[in-house]
Amino acid sequence: MRPAWAASLTIVAAAGCAADTELFVERVWGDDEPAVVVAVTDEGARTAFLVSPSTAPRHATLRATSELTFYARTYEELEDRDTSTCVTTFGPNDDLPLGTPSRAWSGRREGDSIRFTPETDPRAFDLRIRGCDRPVGACDVGVRVLDGGPTANSLSAVVAPRDDFALIAGSGRADDDPRTLFLRYERDAIATLPPTEGLRGRIRAMEYDGARILAARGRHLVFLDERMTITSSVAVGFEIRAMEVGDDGAAYLISDDGELAFLASGATDVVPVEPPRYGDVRADQLPDLDVVDADEFVIFAPDGTLWRSSDGMWERLLESVESRAIATDGETVIIARDNAPVLFHHLGRAGWDAISQAFTMQNAIHAEAIGDGRYLIAGQTGTVAYYNGREMCTVPSATDRNIEDFDFAPSKDFAYAAGENYADDDLPSLLMQWTIPRHD
């Protein structure tokens, strides 16, 4: 009995030749990945068919009067596609090129089977596909506007320690009160917290490390509890531009000039980090970073280059780009550029994919990884885009004001966003809750 994962190929004999023969293609690639099999006769006739995990056994026919050589190929371009409806063609034509195969085999008939061995110098085929689009994931991000009341200044930072709990920071509490404004959202109620003595002006960035709130203010990192009471603080040695905390509670900080610092989970001492070798610092570039954990993070440097640090080793991912927001989940990375399509990249692979035009007219301000290759990006004039791992979805954000920051709750089912106020109107500052669709 043939295994369910075997594909078959019927060799149709010409008139006066031997009877038709059915051959079985033994799978040498992974059970859960698709592959293209090409059959070529000695006269040069050829056919190609796709062996799909969801539709095995797959069947094709070829009229042949001579011996056949078989080739099998796997392609990164086939990953995550609905291969049950694929049509495989040979170029040149308008179909989607599969490009260079990730793995290749060749083989001959052995009895009623086709057995493959790896090809060291793969034969080139201009293989293409049509009718096998990537499945569309859920795009329905829920948007809920929260009313925190009017504020004298815009809101600049937010953290969400729990699904129904968030803390929001701004600038001065009033025109005559420079002490930093903090709001508390909990179970649909929003309250203005008492003043935090010792904190004045705008909070540049705010993160939650699983036990405490980290607030970046000028050249200092301030540690607070959930009542926004200062428990301690530390001088960093540079003006903090951005700060991110990884899954393990470790934090990295970056300055306008690309200086870096590290804070271990639970620690209070900030340690300088040797950055990669930058080129000339450009005043129009705003450094950014995102952190997976203590051993893995990415930075956008002030010279317009994108770098990855993994286990203390630097790798340049892109050079000479203009970016406003970056994010990574450790397996992929996303970069929202100035007036250009958003780029998506699988770490360890070649090439970048342009996945969205959402920020070609407005600048992105912040991006976050959700996991499973999914991302959320927000920025000027209320522009919000959600990448569900297959396509970029534009989210109706119910505002035309700039979104300055957002943060996911630990479940990743909810995110909280904060931003601009209308200085001349008696209207609340921008504060929203987003509900993120579960990954299918």
Identify the H or E element spanning 41.
strand 35-41
Instruction: Say which CATH architecture domain 142-200+277-435 belongs to.
Output: 6 Propeller (2.120)
pLDDT of residue 5: 38
CA distance 117 to 435: 49
Residue bearing the bigger pLDDT, 237 or 79: 237
Q: Does residue 271 register a pLDDT over 60? A: yes
Residue span(s) of the chain under CATH 2.120.10.30 come to 142-200+277-435
pLDDT of residue 439: 61
Please report, to the nearest 10 degrees, the dihedral formed by the alpha carbons of residues 277, 279, 285, 289 taken in order.
Answer: -10
Core vs surface per residue 316-330: b (16+ CB within 10 A) or e: ebbeebbbbbbbbbb
340-349 contacts: CB < 8 A, separation 24 or more? Answer: 342/377, 342/385, 342/387, 342/392, 343/318, 344/387, 345/317, 346/76, 347/308, 349/76
Instruction: Calculate ∠ Cα 388-300-432, nearest 5°.
Output: 45
Q: Model confidence over 348-385: pLDDT tens digits?
A: 888 899 888 888 778 889 999 998 889 999 988 888 99
Q: Does residue 302 register a pLDDT over 70? A: yes
CA distance 59 to 41: 18
Contact present, 373 and 333 (Cβ < 8 Å): no
Provide the 8-state DSSP code for 407: E
CA distance 324 to 134: 28
pLDDT of residue 62: 56
pLDDT of residue 424: 57
Q: Model confidence over 4-28: pLDDT tens digits?
A: 334 445 544 333 334 455 667 777 8
CA distance 270 to 108: 63
Q: Model confidence over 254-268: pLDDT tens digits?
A: 999 999 999 999 999
Q: Model confidence over 87-139: pLDDT tens digits?
A: 888 988 877 788 889 899 998 888 777 888 999 899 999 998 887 765 556 78
Beta bridge partners of 89: 128
Cis peptide before 428 (omega within 30 of 0): no
Give me the chain's average pLDDT, please: 85
pLDDT bucket at 218, cuts 50 / 70 / 90: very high
Contact present, 329 and 371 (Cβ < 8 Å): yes
CA proximity to 224, closest of 234, 213, 233: 213
